[in-house]
A and B are shown apart, each in its own frame.
Chain A
């Protein structure tokens, strides 16, 4: 027994190992050659990658760093274009799975299994209300909104009653706040008669259309999905300079900034409602950081006024909804039943799932109040 334990273990090595090919011996390289190699490598890479670097720099925050990067990269990109290297690098990037023309903030990604588009109104006119009245009256009858002095002056058709064969189309768009709102909205819609797309994109807004263009994304959504009802929640990232289509900077805090932002909000909403989509524009809720209050208050005012000017849109004041009775921020608030719940996330900006659920219910009730959203579409009492 002891002898058998002392036997050497069988070798696992190959009895006839393949000849080992060794790497060539190191050879000395002159410093001048090494410098040339590095210079050619970095120079050629910079020219090849210049278009992509330029797009990335253009999407950066307005400031000295961005200006310096653009000053260096624009001539390089021009050189790349002049030498036809840009075409080659574009082809190479496409082969590597990149979209060289994609905007810095990415593109709106729609699901592949979208239902077929519903037919447009018979008279080939968009469902948007005309000055004479609604273009496509709902089966449930028109809303009783009268021509008042709120700037709208015309009633909007209500939202149609969905069924299993004609699902209600709902979408939620905006920044990361809307990324929380989307699933909450989806939670309260009846999946048997509705289809909800949560399409929020982190770090987006209306200020930097060169980074992510929500107006263009809205057009894409209208062409592919044409929602009956759209929830919008954005603006929390927009406290920064805008960049125009010409590449000009519009500084934050200026009158020009406010005018340009108002135009963008109106253009976005017009794109959204062009085919009769009803829009619930949710304002930014109060946040813990008081330094943001002034800016958020001003953009909320723009959203409210923009929505008020369109009969197919309405505004939900989330600021007041998430304030304490006496004003101010609190993570714990009473819901519609008076139950105190933790509504706010730890960062003082986002909401907890409970908070998003509360906000979603209030937004849905606003749609019911303003657009006659039928009870059949949702699972909560409206």
Chain B
């Protein structure tokens, strides 16, 4: 539910706040930048599809 809400929210964010976010992001230090990107990456990988990994069994 949180993921769906987040996706809907992102669709409606105007460009100005996004640009401001970019400005803020560019001003923080590299460690904080890395931490923020790690959280984004974690969210993306957590939302990746689950299911049978094709290499585990013979797929039948």
Q: Given A36-B34, A61-B56, A205-B57, do A48 and B42 touch, yes or no (CB 8 Å)?
A: yes
Give which listed residue, B1, B22, B30, B46, contacts A40 with CB less than 8 A.
Answer: B30
Residue of B nearest to A203 (CB): B57
Q: Given A24-B19, A203-B52, do A175 and B60 touch, yes or no (CB 8 Å)?
A: yes
Judging by beta carbons under 8 Å apart, are A349 and B19 in contact? no
Is B13 part of the binding interface, using a Cβ–Cβ cutoff of 8 Å?
A: no
Residue of A nearest to B45 (CB): A49
A residues near B3, Cβ cutoff 8 Å: 96-97
Least CB distance from B57 to A in Å reads: 4
Q: Mark B42-60, 1 if CB is under 8 A from A, else 0.
A: 1101110011110111111
A residues near B43, Cβ cutoff 8 Å: 92, 96
Q: Given A60-B55, A350-B60, do A96 and B46 touch, yes or no (CB 8 Å)?
A: yes
Please provide the chain A residues from 152 to 209 with a CB less than 8 Å away from any CB of chain B in the complex.
Answer: 175-177, 202-205, 208
A239 to B58, CA, bound (A): 9
Interface of B is mostly: helix
| Interface range, B side | 20 to 34
Least CB distance from A351 to B in Å reads: 11
Judging by beta carbons under 8 Å apart, are A23 and B22 in contact? yes
Please provide the chain B residues from 12 to 60 with a CB less than 8 Å away from any CB of chain A in the complex.
Answer: 15-16, 19, 22-23, 26, 29-31, 33-35, 37-39, 41-43, 45-47, 50-53, 55-60
B residues near A48, Cβ cutoff 8 Å: 38-39, 42
B residues near A211, Cβ cutoff 8 Å: 56-57
Q: Given A89-B42, A96-B46, A105-B52, do A27 and B59 touch, yes or no (CB 8 Å)?
A: no
A56 to B52, CA, bound (A): 10
Judging by beta carbons under 8 Å apart, are B45 and A97 in contact? no
Please provide the chain A residues from 13 to 41 with a CB less than 8 Å away from any CB of chain B in the complex.
Answer: 21-24, 27, 33-34, 36-41
Q: Show the binding face of B for A, using Cβ within 8 Å.
A: 1-3, 15-16, 19, 22-23, 26, 29-31, 33-35, 37-39, 41-43, 45-47, 50-53, 55-60
Q: Show the binding face of A for B, using Cβ within 8 Å.
A: 21-24, 27, 33-34, 36-45, 48-49, 52, 56, 59-61, 89, 92-93, 95-98, 102, 104-106, 175-177, 202-205, 208, 211, 236-237, 239-240, 347, 349-350
Q: A106-B50, A211-B57 are in contact. List 9 more A-B contacts (CB 8 A).
A: A24-B23, A37-B30, A41-B41, A49-B46, A56-B53, A60-B53, A96-B47, A98-B50, A104-B56
- What are some 19 contacts across the A-B interface (CB < 8 A)? A24-B19, A36-B31, A37-B34, A39-B34, A40-B33, A41-B34, A41-B35, A41-B37, A41-B38, A45-B41, A59-B56, A96-B3, A104-B53, A106-B52, A177-B60, A203-B52, A203-B57, A237-B57, A237-B58
